[in-house]
């Protein structure tokens, strides 16, 4: 049954498929401690559904197995699609003739929303599981949408290992992977778990602009640029604004430097859903977007998660950090935006431009 289901997953376009039991993750105590000290920030849903995350039986009563899969979102050199570059380029790029400054969007968001892209093949795989198991089999599938500790389960299934940056690393695919899982009442023999292969490497820790990786395998989300520019809906703490650079949605710095990325390869499911127009967006143009324009510009992409107010908040910070004097008129308009969050960050950006440029 395992061989049949693994082949079905590969036929559907997934890049790897492994199996584990539906026992609680071994990392449960560490996860509970992480929540207890508040390192999840304002992501209250993690605390609310913690009992389910640490016990798959509360998600699917009678679950016996978990099928974990990966889908790569790496790009291939020469494909015509360039995602944001290395950490050394994260301060943004400028075209001095045109007076434009480009923002940085995380790699995974430079595609159509992976929830939508992976949903159909996941549904098909879950149907195959039920067909193999028979009429009594029940299965639930999630693509970063359910109350499960997916990285821990993926490591136990042998898909990869959790690196010091707390993300999953595949020895076959590197860091650039989406994860998904199927909880099922069908009993399947577990695969061997993956062991850690970080060794003495600490590149990810050194690369983090805000020191969010407080120790190996420990992340304080409240300091993480991905959290601050996507999940966090309030005013970005002053201590982090200059460190954000021109990142306007997410951050890849800790992932970019991982040496296991030398094995990354383009994923079959995502390769036709690239959005090259999101790789180097013009910050000043983005700042002019109203609600309808924002929804149209980023329709069907993960960027919608930030909403206009959060996204334009990020754009204001990025323009201030870029020292883009030509953006003053746009920032002046944003300083009068009806949304106080956008207006406050636009004023900060104008003050930062004055400090950087001396006028």
Give pLDDT tens digits for 48-88: 999 999 999 999 999 999 999 999 999 754 334 444 443 33
Cβ 139 vs Cβ 32: under 8 Å: no
Q: Which residues contact 61 (CB under 8 A, 6 or more apart)?
A: none
Considering the domain architecture, whether residues 167 and 303 belong to the same structural domain is answered as no
Q: pLDDT by residue (tens digit) across 206-217?
A: 999 999 999 999
- Domain end call among 152, 184, 216: 184
Task: Report the alpha-carbon distance of residue 337 to residue 287 in Å, rounded.
Answer: 11
Tokens of 316: 């204001």
Looking at the structure, tell me whether residues 13 and 58 fall in a common domain.
Answer: yes
Q: How many CB atoms lie within 10 A of CB 189?
A: 10
In this predicted structure, what is the pLDDT of residue 99? 66
Residues 155-164: what's their mean pLDDT? 98
pLDDT over 70, % of the chain: 93
Asked if 97 and 117 sit in the same domain, the reply is: no
> 157 is written with which tokens?
């299934």
Phi–psi pair at 274, nearest 5 degrees: -70, 145
Looking at the structure, tell me whether residues 319 and 247 fall in a common domain.
yes
Residues marked as catalytic? 144
- Least confident window among 98-102, 103-107, 193-197, 249-253: 98-102
Is residue 79 a part of any domain in this protein?
A: no
Per residue in 233-255, pLDDT tens?
Answer: 999 999 999 999 999 999 999 99
In this structure, is residue 292 part of a structural domain?
yes
Residues 123 and 42 in one domain: yes
The reported pLDDT for the residue numbered 76 is 53
Q: pLDDT at position 97, please?
A: 39
Same domain, 51 and 117: yes
Please check whether residue 96 lies inside any domain of the structure. Answer: yes
Note the pLDDT of residue 79. 39
On whether residue 247 sits in a domain, the answer given is yes
Confidence band (pLDDT; 50, 70, 90) for 357?
Answer: confident
Tens digit of each residue's pLDDT (9 = 90 or more) over 331-349 = 999 999 999 999 999 999 9
* Residue that is last in its domain, among 184, 214, 234: 184
For residue 358, name the pLDDT band (cuts at 50, 70, 90): confident
Among 167, 147, 171, 149, which residue's Cα sits nearest to residue 159?
171
Q: Is residue 261 included in any domain, yes or no?
A: no
Q: Which residues are 21's β-sheet partners? A: 65
Alpha-carbon distance 26 to 61, whole Å? Answer: 19
CA distance 53 to 314: 31
Task: Tell me, yes or no, whether 29 lies in a domain.
Answer: yes
Number of domains in the chain: 2
Who contacts 299 (Cβ-Cβ below 8 Å, separation ≥6)? none
β-pair partners for 104: 247
pLDDT of residue 126: 97
Residues 173 and 38 in one domain: yes
Per-residue pLDDT averaged across 314-343, rounded?
96
Alpha carbon of residue 116 to chain centroid: 15
Residues 174 and 211 reside in one and the same domain: no
Same domain, 166 and 282: no
- 127 and 215 in a single domain? The answer is no
pLDDT digits over 105-131, tens only? 999 999 999 999 999 999 999 999 999
Residue range(s) defining the domain that contains residue 136: 2-74+112-184
Strand partners, 18: 68
Residue 191 lies in a domain: no
Looking at the fold, whether 96 and 230 belong to one and the same domain comes out as yes
Check: CB of residue 240 under 8 Å from CB of residue 223. Answer: yes
pLDDT, the chain, mean: 92
Q: Are 265 and 173 spatial neighbours (Cβ–Cβ below 8 Å)?
A: yes
57 DSSP β-pair partners: none
Question: For 69, phi and psi rounded to 5 degrees?
Answer: -135, 160
CA dist., res. 17 & res. 111, Å (int): 22
The C-alpha atoms of residue 252 and residue 82 are separated, in whole angstroms, by 14
Percent of the chain with pLDDT over 90: 87
The answer to whether residue 168 sits within a structural domain is yes
Q: 180 with 290, same domain?
A: no
């Amino acid at each position: 049954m395992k061989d049949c289901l693994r082949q079905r997953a590969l036929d559907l376009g997934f890049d790897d498929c492994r199996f584990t039991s539906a026992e609680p993750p071994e990392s449960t105590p560490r996860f509970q401690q992480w929540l207890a000290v508040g390192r999840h920030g304002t992501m209250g849903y993690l605390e609310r559904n913690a009992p389910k995350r640490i016990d798959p039986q509360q998600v699917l009563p009678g679950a016996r197995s978990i099928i974990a899969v990966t889908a790569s979102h790496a790009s291939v050199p020469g494909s015509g699609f360039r995602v944001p570059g290395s950490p050394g380029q994260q301060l943004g790029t400028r075209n001095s003739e045109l007076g434009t400054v480009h923002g940085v969007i995380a790699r995974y968001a430079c595609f159509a929303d992976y929830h939508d892209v992976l949903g159909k093949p996941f549904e098909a795989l879950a149907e195959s599981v039920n067909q193999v198991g028979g009429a009594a089999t029940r299965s639930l599938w999630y693509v970063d949408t359910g109350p499960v500790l997916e990285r821990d389960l993926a490591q136990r299934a042998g898909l990869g290992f959790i690196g010091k940056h707390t993300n999953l690393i595949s020895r076959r695919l590197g860091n650039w992977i989406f994860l998904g899982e199927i909880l099922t009442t069908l009993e399947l023999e577990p695969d061997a778990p993956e062991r850690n292969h970080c060794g003495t490497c600490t590149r990810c820790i050194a690369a983090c602009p805000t020191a969010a990786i407080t120790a190996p395998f420990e992340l304080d989300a409240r300091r993480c640029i991905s959290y601050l520019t996507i999940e966090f809906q309030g005013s970005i703490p002053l201590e982090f604004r200059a460190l954000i650079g021109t990142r306007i949605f997410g951050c890849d710095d800790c992932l970019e430097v991982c040496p296991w990325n030398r094995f990354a390869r383009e994923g079959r499911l995502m390769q036709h859903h690239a959005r090259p127009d999101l790789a180097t967006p013009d910050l000043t143009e983005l700042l002019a977007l109203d609600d309808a324009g924002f929804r149209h510009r980023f329709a069907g992409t993960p960027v919608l998660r930030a909403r206009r107010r959060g996204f334009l908040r990020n754009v204001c910070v990025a323009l201030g950090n870029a020292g883009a004097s030509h953006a003053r008129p746009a920032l002046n308009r944003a300083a009068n935006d009806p949304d106080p969050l956008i207006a406050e960050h636009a004023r900060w950006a104008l003050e930062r431009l004055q400090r950087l440029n001396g006028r």
